[in-house]
Structures are given as C-alpha cells and as structure tokens.
Amino acid sequence: MFFSSLVSPQWLREHLDDPDLVIADCRFDLADPEAGRRVYEAGHIPGAVYLDLERDLSGPVQEHGGRHPLPDEETLAETMGRAGIDERKKVVAYDDQGEAMAARLWWLLRYMGHDRVAILDGGFSGWVHHGYPVSQEGVTPKLTRFVPRVQSEMKVDMDEVKRHSGLLVDAREPDRYQGIREPIDQKAGHIPGAVNRFWKENLAEGQHWKSPAELKKEWDFLREEEQPILYCGSGVTACANLFALHLAGVKGGRLYPGSWSDWISYPENPIETGERSAAALRPK
C-alpha cells in the first residue's frame, strides 16, 4: 500500500484493517499527565495502541538530560515490540495537540532505524470531524521483536551544542524563547545564538500541516548544508520542527533531546534573552 510521512484521515480509514499497520495514539497533556490515557479510554481510533509520552516515549528524569530524556535504546525497542511494531509494520501516529507528541514518536522510530512511520494530518479531532468510527475497546497488540538500527547522527548532546558554530533553532513560544515568561522550567531565556521558530507556525487551520512548498519557503532561512540543531523545552516540540523540515525536503536537522531543560541544569551554561526571529534570516 502507498505510504507517505503524512496521511489523511481518509487514507487511514481506507487502510484501518491492514494487518501490517500499527496505529499509535500519543495524546498527552503536560499539565495533566493522566489525561492522555483517560481520553484514549473514552474513545480512540479503532485498533490504536496508546503510547504515553512520559512512560513510553521518555526515560527516567535525572539531574541532567531534561524533563523528557530519551529512553535507552533497549528499553525503547522493548516498548515498540510490546506495541506490535517491528520492521515489517507501518506506523501512523496521532495526538490532539497539534501532532507534537506524534512527532516525538515519528522521530524516535526514525532514530531507531524505522522510517515507515507517518503522522495523521489533523490528529484525532480531524478523524472525528470526518465522522469516522471511534472505539472504547481495549487493544492487546501481538508481541513482536523490534530490532533497533540506531541512527546516532540524528541527535547531539550538550557538549556538541556548545561546539556548534551553525544555527540553533528554538521551537518554543516566542515569549518563552525571549525570556518574558517561563511557566515550566526554572530559568527563562534561550541558548545563546539561537533563533526562534515556534513549532505551531508549521500548522494551518485545524491542526493540518502546511504544504511542503509553504514549509520550504518558510524555512528558507536555513542555508544549504547548515545541519542546524533544533531544540525546545524538553525535546518534544522540536520534533514537530524536524517533521516540518522533513515535509519540506530539507535535510540535516539534528535534535538536542535534553533541550532547554537540560541546558539550564548546568549552572555554568550562559543564557540569552530577547528576540531573534528566524524570519529575519530569510533571504531578501
């Protein structure tokens, strides 16, 4: 069956019963970590498994590594296997938070060497909007073995961020990036030299992704062979920016998984405030 990185509700409805397809519900609320599981149980796309951002798609929080550190590869492989995902399966991820949580799974699977993964355009609300079926039935995936082929070049650590002479792109809301307010982390501001590209700028109305042409134009502040480092508060919404680059056909973006919450866990790291929009870097 045809498979791309972004699929429509119509496409998913037509392929709902395909045996080689795994649907992953990634809904999650940072302010209420149990809300995702509750809304999943209240109604989900038929056959979808639930993957929790903090229990399944993140590792244990420690002194360093940020609020949502990457799980170790062995643990993540076991999680994917329990979800019924192996090298033969295609995966469609969705959430209802603008696809940021789904983008986290999209990035993690690609990092683990599994690129047959897509995001549902419009998320769960888009599915419901079309009047497609919703289920409350529990799902027990068939246990399988996920064999990782880790793509280590897709991520960087804090030391590499310090050495990086290219562009850093911060995915957070402009007022958090600028240091005007910080409702989550202990310090406000951004990594020195970073520009701001709020991840929701990649979306059109209704949680739909902008077209590849639109995204390519909006990301044209990146120079060829730039290999920018992308980050956010904890390595989640930066994945939405990486997905936007993927849709636009722009290669080379790398994730700083610990992101701002890791950066500020080192007291000696410098902090910058104020505005430096990515739009200002666009060619005139």
Same domain for 217 and 234?
yes
Same domain for 123 and 201?
no
Half-sphere exposure at residue 57, Cβ-oriented, CA atoms within 13 angstroms: 27
Q: In 187-275, which ranges are E strands?
A: 195-196, 229-231, 254-255
Closest to 154 (Cα-Cα) out of 28, 243, 35 = 243
Q: From 151, 180, 207, give the residue that closes a domain.
A: 151
**Tens-digit pLDDT profile for residues 16-34:** 999 999 999 999 999 999 9
Same domain for 38 and 133?
yes
Residue 196 to residue 221: CA distance in whole angstroms: 11
Same domain for 161 and 270?
yes
Q: From 119, 151, 183, give the residue that closes a domain.
A: 151
Closest to 120 (Cα-Cα) out of 232, 231, 194, 209 = 209
Look up the domain containing 39 and give its range: 6-151
pLDDT tops 80 at residue 276? no
Residue 201 to residue 113: CA distance in whole angstroms: 28
pLDDT band for position 223 (50/70/90)? confident
Residue where the block lists tokens 């039935």: 137
pLDDT tops 60 at residue 6? yes
Same domain for 97 and 223?
no
Percent of the chain past pLDDT 70, that is, above it, reads 96
φ, ψ at 255 (rounded to 5°):
-100, 135
Closest to 232 (Cα-Cα) out of 173, 152, 277, 278 = 173
Same domain for 22 and 135?
yes
**Which tokens sit at 228?**
């920018």
Same domain for 193 and 242?
yes
Residue 22 to residue 60: CA distance in whole angstroms: 26
Q: From 109, 130, 151, give the residue that closes a domain.
A: 151
CATH of the domain at 196: 3.40.250.10
Write down the pLDDT at residue 275: 86
Same domain for 10 and 132?
yes
Write down the pLDDT at residue 278: 74
Q: Which residues are catalytic?
A: 232
pTM above 0.85, yes or no: yes
Q: Judge whether 1 lies within some domain.
A: no
Same domain for 50 and 183?
no
Residue where the block lists tokens 């149990």: 34
Distance from the Cα of residue 138 to its chain's centroid: 25
Q: Judge whether 176 lies within some domain.
A: yes
